[in-house]
């Protein structure tokens, strides 16, 4: 048995025990497949982790950078209390259309808003709104440093920032890498390390999505 097969089997087992079947989420993935979206959404257990983080934190306002088909958006939107709000930013208009349909089917159309266009163009407008309690970054990796800078501007002490896909299959240790995703993600961690207003850790993960990891940041000042 290959490592990947074992990782996937373990994920399948854990999901079968801890995550009841969910037709709404399954339909969201099906619609994304039918629309030809890449199969890069978070795994179900990763989606549930985001949901639990938002609930534990009591997040009322959530920002997601990178919507894809709205799968992770549904997990996050379901964590919001009454009166909560989620804004998700998606570059690709086709992806955004699929996400909106999925959010409507999940009953979240009035809770979650998908804004289309380059996130770095959309983020400045959010300065006029209330700070966010939770920011989930899962978009183009070369822009991770800029997304982190914006996340800091759009949050407040006590807010949480989660950045996905930060291990890059282990390539994150390659200091001489020319891969833009690795370069951007290494710069992200250097920014976090030098930023006195945050406290953070990063965790490696294995599972049905392969070998990767995420970074968890608490805004402290």
Sequence ranges of the domains in the chain = 3-219
Token readout for 75 is: 């997990």
Report residue 167 as tokens.
């291990």
**Which sign does the torsion angle of CA 98, 103, 107, 110 carry?**
negative
Q: What pLDDT score was predicted for residue 185?
A: 98
Would you state the torsion angle of the CA atoms of residues 166, 144, 94, 11, taken in this order, to the nearest 10 degrees? Answer: 10
User: What is the reported pLDDT for 76?
Assistant: 98
Under 8 Å between Cβ of 78 and 50: no
Q: How far is residue 6 from each of residues 46, 50, 156, measured CA to CA in Å?
A: 17, 23, 41
pLDDT value of position 12: 96
Q: Does the pTM exceed 0.95?
A: yes
pLDDT in the model for residue 73 = 98
Residue with tokens 């989420």: 25
Fold (topology level) of 3-219 = Rossmann fold (3.40.50)
Q: Name the stretches of the chain with pLDDT < 50.
A: none
Q: How far apart are CA 160 and CA 48, in angstroms?
A: 16
């Amino acid at each position: 048995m290959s490592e990947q097969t074992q990782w996937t089997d373990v994920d399948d087992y854990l999901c079968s025990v801890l995550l009841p079947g969910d037709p709404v989420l399954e339909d969201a993935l099906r619609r994304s497949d039918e629309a030809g979206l890449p199969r890069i959404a978070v795994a179900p257990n990763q989606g549930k982790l985001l949901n639990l983080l938002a609930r534990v934190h009591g997040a009322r306002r959530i920002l997601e950078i990178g919507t894809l088909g709205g799968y992770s958006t549904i997990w996050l939107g379901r964590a919001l209390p009454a009166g909560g709000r989620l804004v998700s930013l998606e570059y690709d208009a086709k992806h955004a259309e699929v996400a909106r349909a999925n959010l409507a089917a999940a009953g979240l159309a009035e809770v979650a808003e998908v804004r289309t266009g380059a996130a770095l163009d959309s983020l400045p407008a959010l300065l006029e709104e209330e700070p966010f309690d939770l920011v989930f970054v899962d978009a183009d990796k070369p822009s991770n440093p800029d997304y982190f800078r914006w996340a800091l501007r759009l949050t407040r002490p006590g807010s949480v920032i989660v950045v996905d896909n930060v291990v890059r299959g282990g390539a994150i240790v390659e200091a001489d890498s020319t891969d833009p995703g690795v370069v951007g993600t290494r710069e992200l961690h250097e920014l976090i390390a030098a930023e006195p207003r945050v406290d953070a850790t990063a965790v490696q993960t294995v599972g049905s999505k392969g070998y990767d990891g995420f970074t968890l940041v608490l805004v402290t000042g």
